[in-house]
């Protein structure tokens, strides 16, 4: 998907919402597991039908699918096929390895599964990410400043010149691509630092996890993260897909997505 197509979809829907399909077989309502051969697919189908008018992106956390072995990969492929072509898709795989291995990761998610984007780790440097840039209209989403507590272990460490590690990672890795094919994961729990990141990369999109169950600051994220092309995808996973564990879980997911959008819209 081209940048302008994503921006146009945000504008037309007045939404920045990315729904995270972190579909845990343990948390799927029992009646789905009792009545369907592929409960992950059926759960996703109902969530997608309930939320597709509310969101501009879906993010699949690959761990929840590959943990189920071959059947999980089949559920992933079939779920991906249910998403309308004009909605942005993210493989939240956090890959990154030496060139030959990354080349196969890129082939997996950009050719075999035809995702629009993939999350990657920049730890091994530019050559580990270059294979992901070999595809037109695909996006590389680089881990920049993550929402977890452990981000302090390395990302927040201070370099000799006084800058933080995450600042140098973002500054340097922004040079690997451009604002038309590169996004950064910037956690909504890190509100105090979002403006600093925006100053480093004023034109790039941020994928922002941490809203909802992780307690991220939506208002602060929007105020400090928005740019002239919107520049944000606000992800919510558990807060939407597990809004209810009853037979009305899809209706509850739609209501949760709508409520989050109502909080976002005034800033657009």
Q: What is the pLDDT of residues 167-184, one digit of tens each?
A: 999 999 999 999 999 999
Number of H helices, E strands in the chain: 13, 8
Q: Where are the alpha helices (DSSP H) in 27-66?
A: 30-35, 39-51, 63-66
Pick the closest to residue 59 from 97, 27, 17, 25 (CA basis).
Answer: 17
Is pTM beyond 0.75 here?
A: yes
Residue 214 has pLDDT above 70, yes or no: no
- pLDDT at site 164: 85
- pLDDT at site 39: 98
> In the annotation, is 59 catalytic?
no
Residue 216 has pLDDT above 80, yes or no: no
Residue 244 has pLDDT above 70, yes or no: yes
- For the chain, domain boundaries: 3-262
Residue 60 has pLDDT above 80, yes or no: yes
Residue 70 has pLDDT above 90, yes or no: yes
Instruction: Work out the number of other CB atoms within 10 angstroms of the CB of residue 166.
Output: 24
Query: Can you identify the CATH homologous superfamily of domain 3-262?
Result: Aldolase class I (3.20.20.70)
Q: For residues 17 and 185, what is the distance between their CA atoms, to the nearest angstrom?
A: 15
- pLDDT at site 212: 63
Pick the closest to residue 257 from 27, 7, 49 (CA basis).
Answer: 49
Summarize pLDDT for 137-166 with one digit per residue, the tens. Answer: 999 999 998 878 788 888 878 888 888 888
Rg for the chain, CA atoms, rounded: 18
- Out of 94, 103, 164, 251, the active site residue is 94
Summarize pLDDT for 78-94 with one digit per residue, the tens. Answer: 999 999 999 999 999 99
Mean pLDDT rounded to a whole number for the chain: 93
């Amino acid at each position: 998907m081209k940048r302008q197509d994503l921006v146009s979809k945000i504008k037309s829907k007045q939404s920045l919402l990315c729904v995270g399909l972190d579909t845990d077989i343990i948390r799927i309502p029992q009646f789905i597991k009792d009545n369907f051969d592929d409960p992950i697919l059926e759960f996703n189908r109902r969530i997608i039908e309930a939320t597709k008018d509310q969101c501009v992106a879906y993010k699949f956390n690959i761990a929840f699918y590959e943990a189920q072995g071959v059947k999980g990969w089949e559920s992933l492929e079939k779920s991906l096929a249910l998403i309308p072509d004009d909605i942005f898709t993210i493989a939240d795989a956090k890959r990154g390895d030496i060139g030959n291995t990354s080349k196969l990761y890129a082939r997996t998610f950009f050719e075999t599964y035809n995702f629009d984007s993939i999350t990657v780790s920049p730890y091994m440097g530019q050559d580990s990410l270059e294979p992901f840039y070999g595809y037109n209209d695909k996006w590389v989403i680089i881990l920049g400043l993550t929402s977890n507590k452990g981000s302090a272990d390395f990302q927040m460490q201070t370099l000799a010149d006084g800058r933080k590690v995450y600042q140098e990672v973002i500054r340097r890795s922004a040079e690997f691509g451009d604002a038309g094919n590169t996004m950064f994961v910037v956690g909504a729990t890190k509100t105090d630092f979002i403006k600093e990141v925006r100053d480093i990369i004023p034109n790039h999109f941020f994928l922002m996890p941490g809203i909802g169950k992780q307690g991220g600051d939506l208002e602060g994220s929007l105020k400090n993260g928005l740019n002239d092309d919107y520049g944000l995808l606000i992800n919510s996973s558990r807060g939407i897909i597990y809004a209810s564990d009853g037979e009305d879980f899809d209706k509850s997911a739609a209501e949760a997505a709508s409520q989050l959008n109502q909080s976002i819209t005034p800033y657009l």
